[in-house]
Structure 1
Amino acid sequence: MALACALATTLVLLLPLTLPQRGAGGSAERPAAGASSTVAHGTQAEAQACASDVPGKEPERSLKPSASESGAAVRAIKDRGYLSVGVDQNSYGWGYRDPNNTSKSSELEGFDIDLAHEIAGKILGDRNAIRFHAIPTNERIPAIQRGEVDIVVRTMTIDCARLKDVAFSTAYFQTGQQVLAPKASTITGYDDSLAGKRICSAKGSTALAALKDDHASGKLPASADISTTVPNQLDCLVRLQLGEVDAVVTDGALAASQAAQDPTVELKGKPFTKEFYGVAMKKGADDLVRRVNQVLEDYRGDGGWQKSYDKWLEQDLGPSSGPPAPKYK
């Protein structure tokens, strides 16, 4: 009985504490979080060179787009009749179930969900020919490698280490790591104010990688405690709300959405990295990578990307200058 109660409590805590109602046009009825507008840019930053064992050297470079559907990976999807997609169900604005939305039985919605539907629609001719698999942050790569999903659209940063295990599309969003903490906190950003503070990050995240690197190099105060890690990034917000940690480090785009859910927390300081989200796929599925890149080309050009951004993210991240420009090998 005690275990059941504990599990029930955990499930409740993992749901957003407050979800602002959205109007008929999809816009959230709340003031914009102007302080977080620095996390959404359309200009591609210079890519950091990868090691020699990573093909292409630059992480954001991907295969040139193609509308061909004759490759093995794309054919397998078409023969099956649906696209299998790994997504998040707990990230407000990106991939989540809105308990206030009674008309759709709390279907998944958000910026990443829109993109997944767009890919399904272009490959299969039906935007709803899709099966979503909610996966935690640390299961994104394993789910692809095990063949459980065709693609992962889950605020997944393209980086050199991940390119050894999966393939990526071109970048569809730019963000950067940022600090989230209570408004009353003395923390001012990713700086010396983190000395002696307990910091939470998600397992398998670029935030944790940055924390480990900076802790070892001395960029992060030695007294900062980075030992708290969780399977899902939203779990960090729960830990913060419970007072079990003092700060969260995650993508600024995600942190801004969490700050919109909980008015007691806010972004501290500016992003301290430049990162790009991509659609992840199995290594060797070059035909699928090219097909997804063609979908992204069309999505950027026909206004679909901007429409989705305006609906799900503008209220929290501020106006965007558009998606990152694609880079190809």
Structure 2
Amino acid sequence: MNARTRTSSALAVALPALLLVACAGGERLPAAVQGEAPSTSAAPPAQTFTCPADQQEVGDLAPKSYAPDGPLPSPDDLPAGSTMAAIRASGTLRVGVSADTLLFGARNPQTGQIEGFDIDMLKEVAKAIFGADDDTVYDLLDIVVIPYSQRIPKLRSGEVDIVAHTMTINCVRWQQIAFTSEYYTSGQRVLVEATSSYQSIDDLAAAQATVCVPDGSTNQENLARDYPQITAVAVPDISDCLVAMQSGAVQAITGDDTVLAGLQVQDPATKVVGENFSFEPYGLGIAADRVDLVKFVNALLAEMRDDGRWQAIYDDWLAAALGPQSPPAARYGRTEG
């Protein structure tokens, strides 16, 4: 039995999925996902959210989350009436993920399962709620495959309980949903063809180049704000960008360094260039009115930092592509109301 997997309707018009998968040394290299049956649930109407002037930048405030109420309770001792108890009673944890972000969330064509760093984070949440083991935990995930632009709407509509999708914590998003403490720190860079002469985002701006970027991402916001000379091509998912660059429709792709590392594994005839030009702290997204679940997951993340589980997951998925790294420290201080 496999976890139930649904796909957001926004993916129905995606470009043909990339199936370039480089295999070396027997490492797991899941391919980009192809089209799947769409989910048709409606999201709340669009609204405009703004932040106070002193909170416009990510800075130090945005990654601060709600402190845990105490040690992580056991699965058999979840607080009565809590979000966690309701999820346990439902029988599945509804999760919003990517299925084409290699290393973070991508479908393994051999097993059919979606795998990666983000997926393993969600497995730990499911274990903490259901008491499942490694062999059964995937079956407890009710997976909803979503593009970048639907991460917040799917949480606000109640279709998913939690989103793990390389999602940057920032002030504007805090006005719409809640975040756990930071579980990974990334930064925005550029991917080009291996033979390209472009060496940085500034080179692309000077040439008024055409650059692909995921729609609804902070990468798109950063590009529009800081590099207006560049013509941005926004697509639902990052694998669409790789197809666009391979076809010559764009000269480069910009995204988080973590995501670009996965694309480079898929297509070794590419290279990541330049320094990070943004700060992208990742959090697990949760609905704003489920603060108890945020605190619960924060207690879990604290355990994982301390007992080595975070490090083991990082080493399994990301160390080979991104080098040694330790878990980011938790930052608390956000209050309810």
Task: Provide the TM-score with structure 2 as the length reference.
Answer: 0.79
Match of 1:280 among 282, 285, 295: 285
**In structure 1, what is the Cα distance between the partners aligned to 2:257 and 2:148?**
16
CA pair 8-264 structure 1, distance change in 2 beyond 3 A: farther
Match of 2:122 in 1: 116
Cα RMSD over matched residues? 2.3
Match of 2:173 in 1: 162
**In structure 1, what is the Cα distance between the partners aligned to 2:307 and 2:270?**
36
- Per the TM alignment, residue 310 of structure 1 is displaced from its structure 2 partner at its CA by 1.1
**In structure 2, what is the Cα distance between the partners aligned to 1:281 and 1:16?**
32
Match of 1:95 among 102, 105, 112: 105
Match of 1:34 in 2: none
The answer to whether the Cα contact below 8 Å between 1:156 and 1:278 also exists between their aligned partners in 2 is yes
Deviations 1:188-235 (A, max 9, x none): 11113432210111111010000111135xxxxx2x212x10011221
Match of 1:139 in 2: 150
**In structure 1, what is the Cα distance between the partners aligned to 2:164 and 2:52?**
25
**In structure 2, what is the Cα distance between the partners aligned to 1:161 and 1:197?**
29
Match of 2:329 among 312, 325, 328: 325
Of stretches 179-188 and 66-75 in structure 1, the one that deviates more from structure 2 is: 66-75
**In structure 1, what is the Cα distance between the partners aligned to 2:194 and 2:177?**
38
Match of 1:203 in 2: 215
1:51 aligns with 2:46: no
- Per the TM alignment, residue 140 of structure 1 is displaced from its structure 2 partner at its CA by 0.5
Structure 1 residue ranges without an equivalent (≥5) = 1-6, 29-49, 217-221
Q: Which secondary structure state, in structure 2, belongs to the residue aligned with residue 250 of structure 1?
A: strand
**In structure 2, what is the Cα distance between the partners aligned to 1:8 and 1:134?**
11
CA pair 196-106 structure 1, distance change in 2 beyond 3 A: same
Amino acid at match of 2:194: K
1:77 aligns with 2:87: yes
Structure 2 residue ranges without an equivalent (≥5) = 1-10, 30-50
**In structure 2, what is the Cα distance between the partners aligned to 1:296 and 1:62?**
12
Deviations 1:168-191 (A, max 9, x none): 000000110001111111211111
Deviations 1:15-63 (A, max 9, x none): 341142564xx677xxxxxxxxxxxxxxxxxxxxx62797x98110000
1:174 aligns with 2:150: no
The answer to whether the Cα contact below 8 Å between 1:19 and 1:98 also exists between their aligned partners in 2 is no
Task: Provide the TM-score with structure 1 as the length reference.
Answer: 0.81
Percent identity of paired positions between Structure 1 and Structure 2: 38
- Per the TM alignment, residue 300 of structure 1 is displaced from its structure 2 partner at its CA by 1.2
The answer to whether the Cα contact below 8 Å between 1:138 and 1:232 also exists between their aligned partners in 2 is no
Q: Which secondary structure state, in structure 2, belongs to the residue aligned with residue 119 of structure 1?
A: helix
Deviations 1:265-287 (A, max 9, x none): 11011111111110000011110
**In structure 1, what is the Cα distance between the partners aligned to 2:279 and 2:13?**
36
